Amino acid sequence: MASASRRRRRARGSRPGSRGAVAGGDRPLALRRAEGHWVGAFQAMASPCEVLLGVETRREARDLARIAYREALRIETQFSRYREDGAVARINRAEGAVVTVDEETAGLLDFAAQCHAMSDGAFDITSGVLRRVWTFDGSDRVPSPEAVLEVLPRVGWSKVTWERPRLRLEPGMEIDLGGIAKEYAVDRAAALVREKTAVPLLVNFGGDIAADREDEDAWRVGIETPDRFGEASGVVRLRRGGLASSGDTRRFLLRDGVRYSHVLDPRTGWPVEHAPRSVTVLAENCTAAGLLATLALLQGEGAAAFLEAQGVRYWCGE
Protein backbone atom coordinates (compact mmCIF):
# COMPACT_ATOMS: atom_id res chain seq x y z
CA MET A 1 0.00 0.00 0.00
CA ALA A 2 1.02 3.61 -0.49
CA SER A 3 1.73 6.14 2.23
CA ALA A 4 1.74 9.89 2.56
CA SER A 5 3.48 12.76 4.30
CA ARG A 6 1.47 15.46 6.02
CA ARG A 7 3.74 18.22 4.80
CA ARG A 8 5.09 17.27 1.45
CA ARG A 9 2.20 15.69 -0.44
CA ARG A 10 0.81 18.10 -3.03
CA ALA A 11 -1.48 18.18 -6.02
CA ARG A 12 0.39 17.40 -9.20
CA GLY A 13 0.41 19.75 -12.14
CA SER A 14 1.56 22.72 -10.06
CA ARG A 15 4.72 23.62 -11.94
CA PRO A 16 5.74 27.27 -11.74
CA GLY A 17 4.43 29.59 -14.41
CA SER A 18 3.82 33.30 -14.08
CA ARG A 19 4.46 34.45 -10.52
CA GLY A 20 3.43 37.35 -8.37
CA ALA A 21 2.96 38.19 -4.70
CA VAL A 22 -0.12 39.51 -2.96
CA ALA A 23 0.25 41.62 0.16
CA GLY A 24 0.47 39.60 3.35
CA GLY A 25 3.23 40.95 5.57
CA ASP A 26 6.03 38.51 6.35
CA ARG A 27 4.01 35.60 4.91
CA PRO A 28 2.90 36.79 1.48
CA LEU A 29 0.42 35.05 -0.75
CA ALA A 30 2.12 34.13 -4.03
CA LEU A 31 0.25 33.34 -7.25
CA ARG A 32 1.35 31.25 -10.20
CA ARG A 33 -0.26 29.72 -13.26
CA ALA A 34 -0.05 25.92 -13.67
CA GLU A 35 -1.64 23.70 -16.33
CA GLY A 36 -5.00 25.37 -16.67
CA HIS A 37 -5.46 26.59 -13.10
CA TRP A 38 -4.07 29.15 -10.68
CA VAL A 39 -2.19 28.27 -7.51
CA GLY A 40 -2.16 30.53 -4.47
CA ALA A 41 0.69 29.59 -2.11
CA PHE A 42 1.57 30.75 1.41
CA GLN A 43 2.78 29.55 4.80
CA ALA A 44 0.45 28.94 7.74
CA MET A 45 0.24 26.55 10.71
CA ALA A 46 3.91 25.60 10.20
CA SER A 47 3.04 24.18 6.78
CA PRO A 48 3.22 25.07 3.10
CA CYS A 49 -0.30 25.84 1.94
CA GLU A 50 -1.84 25.92 -1.54
CA VAL A 51 -5.20 26.80 -3.05
CA LEU A 52 -5.77 25.50 -6.59
CA LEU A 53 -8.44 27.34 -8.55
CA GLY A 54 -9.89 26.67 -12.01
CA VAL A 55 -10.38 30.33 -12.89
CA GLU A 56 -9.16 32.28 -15.91
CA THR A 57 -7.80 35.56 -14.60
CA ARG A 58 -5.17 36.44 -12.06
CA ARG A 59 -7.55 38.86 -10.38
CA GLU A 60 -10.15 36.13 -9.78
CA ALA A 61 -7.46 33.83 -8.43
CA ARG A 62 -6.10 36.52 -6.13
CA ASP A 63 -9.49 37.39 -4.68
CA LEU A 64 -10.46 33.77 -4.05
CA ALA A 65 -7.07 32.68 -2.73
CA ARG A 66 -7.10 35.59 -0.29
CA ILE A 67 -10.26 34.17 1.29
CA ALA A 68 -8.53 30.88 2.10
CA TYR A 69 -5.32 32.67 3.10
CA ARG A 70 -7.02 34.94 5.62
CA GLU A 71 -9.06 32.11 7.09
CA ALA A 72 -5.94 29.99 7.58
CA LEU A 73 -4.17 32.82 9.41
CA ARG A 74 -7.26 33.53 11.52
CA ILE A 75 -7.55 29.92 12.64
CA GLU A 76 -3.83 29.74 13.32
CA THR A 77 -4.09 32.80 15.56
CA GLN A 78 -7.06 31.41 17.45
CA PHE A 79 -6.05 27.79 17.90
CA SER A 80 -2.28 27.40 17.68
CA ARG A 81 -0.57 26.58 20.96
CA TYR A 82 2.38 28.70 19.80
CA ARG A 83 0.38 31.94 19.65
CA GLU A 84 -0.13 34.22 22.63
CA ASP A 85 -3.19 36.07 21.37
CA GLY A 86 -5.82 33.42 20.65
CA ALA A 87 -8.43 31.26 22.35
CA VAL A 88 -6.03 28.41 23.16
CA ALA A 89 -3.53 30.80 24.74
CA ARG A 90 -6.24 32.28 26.93
CA ILE A 91 -7.34 28.83 28.09
CA ASN A 92 -3.81 27.66 28.80
CA ARG A 93 -3.00 30.76 30.84
CA ALA A 94 -6.04 30.37 33.11
CA GLU A 95 -4.24 28.22 35.74
CA GLY A 96 -7.36 26.65 37.16
CA ALA A 97 -9.78 29.52 36.54
CA VAL A 98 -12.98 29.01 34.56
CA VAL A 99 -12.80 30.34 30.98
CA THR A 100 -15.89 31.18 28.94
CA VAL A 101 -15.22 30.41 25.29
CA ASP A 102 -16.80 31.60 22.04
CA GLU A 103 -19.10 29.48 19.89
CA GLU A 104 -16.40 28.33 17.46
CA THR A 105 -14.05 27.23 20.22
CA ALA A 106 -16.93 25.47 21.96
CA GLY A 107 -17.66 23.52 18.79
CA LEU A 108 -14.06 22.31 18.58
CA LEU A 109 -14.06 21.35 22.26
CA ASP A 110 -17.28 19.38 21.77
CA PHE A 111 -15.67 17.60 18.83
CA ALA A 112 -12.54 16.86 20.88
CA ALA A 113 -14.70 15.44 23.68
CA GLN A 114 -16.47 13.16 21.17
CA CYS A 115 -13.11 12.00 19.79
CA HIS A 116 -11.91 11.23 23.31
CA ALA A 117 -15.01 9.15 24.04
CA MET A 118 -14.99 7.19 20.77
CA SER A 119 -11.27 6.37 21.15
CA ASP A 120 -11.54 5.21 24.78
CA GLY A 121 -9.24 8.04 25.79
CA ALA A 122 -6.56 7.51 23.14
CA PHE A 123 -7.35 10.87 21.51
CA ASP A 124 -6.83 13.54 24.14
CA ILE A 125 -6.25 17.25 23.52
CA THR A 126 -4.65 17.64 26.96
CA SER A 127 -1.71 15.41 25.95
CA GLY A 128 0.26 18.28 24.41
CA VAL A 129 2.13 18.81 27.68
CA LEU A 130 4.01 15.59 26.93
CA ARG A 131 6.12 17.64 24.50
CA ARG A 132 7.93 18.91 27.60
CA VAL A 133 9.74 15.57 27.74
CA TRP A 134 9.37 14.32 24.15
CA THR A 135 11.08 16.15 21.27
CA PHE A 136 10.79 14.23 18.01
CA ASP A 137 13.74 15.63 16.12
CA GLY A 138 15.27 12.43 14.72
CA SER A 139 17.79 12.19 17.56
CA ASP A 140 18.23 9.43 20.16
CA ARG A 141 17.07 11.54 23.11
CA VAL A 142 14.37 9.27 24.54
CA PRO A 143 13.15 10.53 27.93
CA SER A 144 13.45 8.43 31.05
CA PRO A 145 10.38 6.65 32.43
CA GLU A 146 10.63 8.91 35.48
CA ALA A 147 10.45 12.05 33.34
CA VAL A 148 7.34 10.79 31.55
CA LEU A 149 5.68 9.84 34.83
CA GLU A 150 6.33 13.32 36.19
CA VAL A 151 4.34 14.95 33.37
CA LEU A 152 1.59 12.33 33.00
CA PRO A 153 -0.61 13.62 35.89
CA ARG A 154 -1.20 16.79 33.82
CA VAL A 155 -2.80 14.73 31.04
CA GLY A 156 -6.41 13.56 30.93
CA TRP A 157 -9.62 14.98 29.48
CA SER A 158 -11.48 13.28 32.34
CA LYS A 159 -9.86 15.85 34.67
CA VAL A 160 -11.32 18.74 32.65
CA THR A 161 -14.60 20.42 33.56
CA TRP A 162 -16.42 21.26 30.32
CA GLU A 163 -19.94 22.65 30.55
CA ARG A 164 -20.45 24.60 27.36
CA PRO A 165 -19.41 27.41 27.11
CA ARG A 166 -17.36 27.20 30.33
CA LEU A 167 -14.10 25.28 30.56
CA ARG A 168 -11.84 24.65 33.51
CA LEU A 169 -8.48 22.90 33.47
CA GLU A 170 -6.56 21.82 36.53
CA PRO A 171 -3.53 24.06 37.22
CA GLY A 172 -0.61 23.00 35.05
CA MET A 173 -2.81 21.43 32.38
CA GLU A 174 -3.10 22.69 28.79
CA ILE A 175 -5.07 21.94 25.66
CA ASP A 176 -3.54 21.44 22.22
CA LEU A 177 -5.87 21.47 19.22
CA GLY A 178 -3.09 20.62 16.77
CA GLY A 179 -4.71 17.25 16.07
CA ILE A 180 -7.83 18.82 14.57
CA ALA A 181 -7.22 22.52 13.87
CA LYS A 182 -5.42 22.23 10.51
CA GLU A 183 -7.99 19.86 9.03
CA TYR A 184 -10.73 22.16 10.34
CA ALA A 185 -8.96 25.10 8.68
CA VAL A 186 -8.87 23.24 5.36
CA ASP A 187 -12.61 22.58 5.44
CA ARG A 188 -13.39 26.12 6.53
CA ALA A 189 -11.24 27.68 3.82
CA ALA A 190 -12.77 25.45 1.14
CA ALA A 191 -16.30 26.24 2.31
CA LEU A 192 -15.69 30.00 2.27
CA VAL A 193 -14.20 29.90 -1.23
CA ARG A 194 -17.04 27.69 -2.42
CA GLU A 195 -19.56 30.30 -1.24
CA LYS A 196 -18.10 32.67 -3.85
CA THR A 197 -17.60 30.36 -6.82
CA ALA A 198 -18.39 26.98 -8.36
CA VAL A 199 -15.04 26.62 -10.16
CA PRO A 200 -12.78 23.58 -9.60
CA LEU A 201 -11.17 23.95 -6.18
CA LEU A 202 -8.54 22.19 -4.11
CA VAL A 203 -7.25 23.40 -0.73
CA ASN A 204 -4.00 21.81 0.47
CA PHE A 205 -2.61 22.82 3.86
CA GLY A 206 0.54 20.81 4.48
CA GLY A 207 -0.86 17.72 2.78
CA ASP A 208 -4.31 17.89 4.37
CA ILE A 209 -6.69 18.39 1.47
CA ALA A 210 -10.26 19.31 0.58
CA ALA A 211 -11.37 19.08 -3.06
CA ASP A 212 -14.54 20.01 -4.89
CA ARG A 213 -15.15 20.15 -8.61
CA GLU A 214 -18.30 19.69 -10.67
CA ASP A 215 -16.65 18.90 -14.02
CA GLU A 216 -15.61 15.46 -15.26
CA ASP A 217 -11.92 15.99 -14.54
CA ALA A 218 -10.17 15.25 -11.23
CA TRP A 219 -7.26 16.60 -9.23
CA ARG A 220 -4.29 14.21 -9.22
CA VAL A 221 -2.82 13.97 -5.72
CA GLY A 222 0.40 12.07 -5.03
CA ILE A 223 0.78 9.81 -1.99
CA GLU A 224 4.34 10.12 -0.73
CA THR A 225 6.55 7.18 0.19
CA PRO A 226 7.96 7.25 3.76
CA ASP A 227 11.60 8.40 3.90
CA ARG A 228 11.56 9.32 0.20
CA PHE A 229 10.63 12.98 0.32
CA GLY A 230 8.80 14.12 -2.78
CA GLU A 231 8.53 10.62 -4.26
CA ALA A 232 4.95 9.49 -4.86
CA SER A 233 4.18 5.80 -4.52
CA GLY A 234 0.64 6.28 -5.72
CA VAL A 235 -1.76 8.83 -7.15
CA VAL A 236 -5.34 9.54 -6.10
CA ARG A 237 -7.78 11.02 -8.58
CA LEU A 238 -9.81 13.32 -6.33
CA ARG A 239 -12.97 15.16 -7.36
CA ARG A 240 -14.72 15.69 -4.05
CA GLY A 241 -13.97 15.01 -0.38
CA GLY A 242 -11.11 15.25 2.07
CA LEU A 243 -7.72 13.54 2.23
CA ALA A 244 -5.51 13.61 5.32
CA SER A 245 -2.49 11.78 6.67
CA SER A 246 -0.70 11.08 9.91
CA GLY A 247 2.64 9.40 10.48
CA ASP A 248 6.23 9.60 11.69
CA THR A 249 8.11 10.21 8.43
CA ARG A 250 9.63 13.40 9.81
CA ARG A 251 8.88 13.27 13.53
CA PHE A 252 10.53 10.39 15.36
CA LEU A 253 13.37 9.33 17.65
CA LEU A 254 15.80 6.51 16.98
CA ARG A 255 17.76 4.74 19.71
CA ASP A 256 19.52 1.38 19.57
CA GLY A 257 17.70 0.48 16.38
CA VAL A 258 14.27 1.24 17.85
CA ARG A 259 12.18 3.93 16.14
CA TYR A 260 9.88 5.94 18.42
CA SER A 261 6.89 7.49 16.63
CA HIS A 262 5.62 10.95 17.56
CA VAL A 263 2.14 9.46 18.03
CA LEU A 264 1.85 9.27 21.81
CA ASP A 265 -0.68 7.30 23.80
CA PRO A 266 -1.92 9.85 26.38
CA ARG A 267 -2.80 7.06 28.77
CA THR A 268 0.82 5.92 29.09
CA GLY A 269 2.81 8.92 27.85
CA TRP A 270 4.75 6.66 25.45
CA PRO A 271 4.64 6.24 21.66
CA VAL A 272 2.12 3.82 20.23
CA GLU A 273 3.88 0.58 19.31
CA HIS A 274 3.69 -1.31 16.00
CA ALA A 275 1.78 1.43 14.22
CA PRO A 276 2.18 1.95 10.45
CA ARG A 277 4.76 4.53 9.43
CA SER A 278 1.97 6.55 7.88
CA VAL A 279 -1.76 6.43 7.27
CA THR A 280 -3.70 8.37 4.63
CA VAL A 281 -7.49 8.43 4.60
CA LEU A 282 -10.03 9.62 2.05
CA ALA A 283 -13.30 10.71 3.63
CA GLU A 284 -16.26 13.03 3.18
CA ASN A 285 -14.25 16.01 4.40
CA CYS A 286 -10.76 16.77 5.64
CA THR A 287 -11.70 16.90 9.33
CA ALA A 288 -13.17 13.39 9.19
CA ALA A 289 -10.20 12.10 7.19
CA GLY A 290 -7.72 13.56 9.68
CA LEU A 291 -9.55 12.13 12.66
CA LEU A 292 -9.70 8.65 11.15
CA ALA A 293 -6.01 8.74 10.21
CA THR A 294 -5.03 9.71 13.76
CA LEU A 295 -7.37 7.18 15.39
CA ALA A 296 -5.98 4.47 13.10
CA LEU A 297 -2.39 5.17 14.19
CA LEU A 298 -3.49 5.05 17.80
CA GLN A 299 -4.65 1.48 17.16
CA GLY A 300 -1.05 0.40 16.55
CA GLU A 301 -0.91 -2.84 14.58
CA GLY A 302 -4.70 -2.78 14.37
CA ALA A 303 -4.71 0.35 12.19
CA ALA A 304 -5.74 -1.35 8.94
CA ALA A 305 -8.47 -3.40 10.61
CA PHE A 306 -9.84 -0.24 12.21
CA LEU A 307 -10.02 1.55 8.86
CA GLU A 308 -11.56 -1.47 7.15
CA ALA A 309 -14.34 -1.33 9.73
CA GLN A 310 -14.97 2.34 8.90
CA GLY A 311 -15.56 1.52 5.24
CA VAL A 312 -13.22 4.26 3.96
CA ARG A 313 -10.51 4.24 1.33
CA TYR A 314 -7.08 4.34 2.93
CA TRP A 315 -3.36 3.75 2.43
CA CYS A 316 -0.94 2.44 5.07
CA GLY A 317 2.83 2.72 4.73
CA GLU A 318 5.14 0.47 6.72
Alpha-carbon distance of 257 to 227, in angstroms, equals 16
Alpha-carbon distance of 68 to 75, in angstroms, equals 11
Residue 315 has pLDDT above 70, yes or no: yes
Residue 56 has pLDDT above 70, yes or no: yes
pLDDT of residue 228: 56
Rounded to whole angstroms, the maximal C-alpha distance in the chain is 60
pLDDT of residue 233: 63
Residue 87 has pLDDT above 50, yes or no: yes
pLDDT of residue 223: 83
Q: Are 199 and 182 in contact (CB under 8 A)?
A: no
Tell me the average pLDDT across 164-187: 97
What are the backbone dihedrals phi and psi of residue 227, each rounded to the nearest 5 degrees, phi first?
70, 5
pLDDT of residue 9: 38
Q: Find the DSSP H helices in 94-246.
A: 103-118, 145-151, 181-194
Tell me the average pLDDT across 94-118: 97
**Residue 277 binned pLDDT confidence (cut-offs 50, 70, 90):** confident
Class (C level, CATH) for 87-168: mainly alpha
Alpha-carbon distance of 90 to 145, in angstroms, equals 31
pLDDT of residue 39: 98
Whose CA is closest to 118, among 315, 275, 314, 288? 288
Residue 90 has pLDDT above 50, yes or no: yes
Tell me the average pLDDT across 131-136: 95
How many residues would you count in the chain?
Answer: 318
Q: Are 65 and 38 in contact (CB under 8 A)?
A: yes
pLDDT of residue 266: 96
pLDDT of residue 27: 78
Please, what is the average pLDDT of the chain? 89
**Residue 3 binned pLDDT confidence (cut-offs 50, 70, 90):** very low
For residue range 11-52, what is the model confidence (pLDDT) as tens digits?
433 333 334 444 444 679 999 999 889 999 999 999 999 999
**Residue 232 binned pLDDT confidence (cut-offs 50, 70, 90):** low
DSSP 3-state assignment of 177?
A: coil
- Which whole-number Å values give the CA distances from 231 to 8, 9, 35, 85, 170, in the listed order? 9, 9, 20, 38, 45
Whose CA is closest to 115, among 49, 52, 196, 178? 178
- Which whole-number Å values give the CA distances from 49 to 31, 81, 139, 179, 186, in the listed order? 12, 19, 28, 17, 10
Q: Are 52 and 202 in contact (CB under 8 A)?
A: yes
Alpha-carbon distance of 212 to 218, in angstroms, equals 9
**Residue 10 binned pLDDT confidence (cut-offs 50, 70, 90):** very low
Q: Give 93's contacts (C-beta < 8 A, 6+ positions apart).
A: none
For residue range 241-257, what is the model confidence (pLDDT) as tens digits?
999 988 877 788 999 99
